[in-house]
Amino acid sequence: MKKIRALKVEGSIAYLNKKHAHVLRIKEGEKIKILLPSGDFALAEVVDSENMRAKILEFIPPVENKLKISIAIPLLKKGKTEKIVEYLSIIGVEKIIPVITRRSEVRPKDEKKLKIEQRLAKISAEYARISGVKLPEIEKIVSLEKLQDNQYQKKIVFYELSTKILSYDDLKNIISSSDKIIILIGPEGGFDEDEISYLRSRGWEDFSIGSKILTSDLFPIYIISIFDFFSSRI
């Protein structure tokens, strides 16, 4: 079944993105799965192929992951940050929080931050429809010191100089003892020692994955995939 995002909904009628609908070759009378602006999914039938209107037939609950994981990602150059959001939105997370740290290369001014946040939210909505997962919440861009972490039971930061290498037993303990988890990933230059000391003072646990080095745009996808896979098996 073809999947597409609705631009708006009026009553039981959803208006589809015409350009995307034509690419997918959606035709009148065809049943499709749509992601509504609210973040809900629905089964719909196309009733007007010229204006790309579809009638909602029934609502479909999104796939919700067992773990409620929020991930704080480094704010990288435009294409890299967007790619992270694309894949995390397909895998499924609760929140995506872009964070600026001391070694971050990208430091947008306030007026630019809003545009970035809106762009990331749009990308997330577009890609969440692919796997049918609950739409992640895109948080505002914040500095490390303003990252809100009080609501989480487990706070995990990955730090290449950590003496603790993440093991299966660590994963099992984190997943089995926590309903709400936040994971923090650093920029290309990593965290400095003062930042890690600050995080430890706030109850964060630091881990590494050993000698393997992954880029900052790949690592969030890599680690969330691991947590997502094992959360359904532990």
Reported as a single tens digit per residue, the pLDDT across 193-214 is 999 999 999 999 999 999 888 9
CATH topology classification for 3-60: Ribosomal Protein L25; Chain P (2.40.240)
- The answer to whether residues 104 and 187 touch, using CB atoms and an 8 Å cutoff, is yes
pTM of this prediction exceeds 0.85: no
Measured distance CA(9)–CA(4) in Å, rounded: 13
- Alpha-carbon Rg for the chain in angstroms: 20
Burial 155-183 (b: 16+ CB within 10 A, else e): bbbbbeebeeebeeeebeebbeebeebbb
Measured distance CA(89)–CA(110) in Å, rounded: 25
CA distances from 81 to 41, 133, 157, 216 (A): 26, 20, 18, 9
Residue 208, number of CB atoms within 10 A of its CB: 16
Q: pLDDT category, 130, cuts 50, 70, 90? A: confident
- The DSSP symbol for 144 reads G
Q: What percent of the chain has pLDDT over 70?
A: 100
Predicted local confidence at residue 190, as pLDDT: 93
Backbone angles phi, psi at 155, to 5 degrees: -125, 115
**Domain coordinates of the chain in residue numbers?**
3-60, 68-231
- The answer to whether residues 4 and 26 touch, using CB atoms and an 8 Å cutoff, is yes
* Of the candidates 85, 128, 89, the residue with the CA atom closest to the CA atom of residue 217: 85
Structure tokens at 136: 């992640």
CATH (one of 3.40.50.200, 3.40.1280.10, 3.30.2000.10, 3.40.50.10280) for 68-231: 3.40.1280.10
Predicted local confidence at residue 39, as pLDDT: 80
142-143 and 95-100 beta bridge pairing = parallel
pLDDT of 192 over the 90 cut: yes
* Of the candidates 170, 157, 141, the residue with the CA atom closest to the CA atom of residue 199: 157
- The answer to whether residues 130 and 171 touch, using CB atoms and an 8 Å cutoff, is no
Reported as a single tens digit per residue, the pLDDT across 24-75 is 999 999 999 998 988 889 999 999 988 999 999 999 988 777 788 999 999 9
Residues in Cβ contact with 76 at an 8 Å cutoff, skipping those fewer than 6 apart? 84, 105, 106, 187, 188, 216, 217
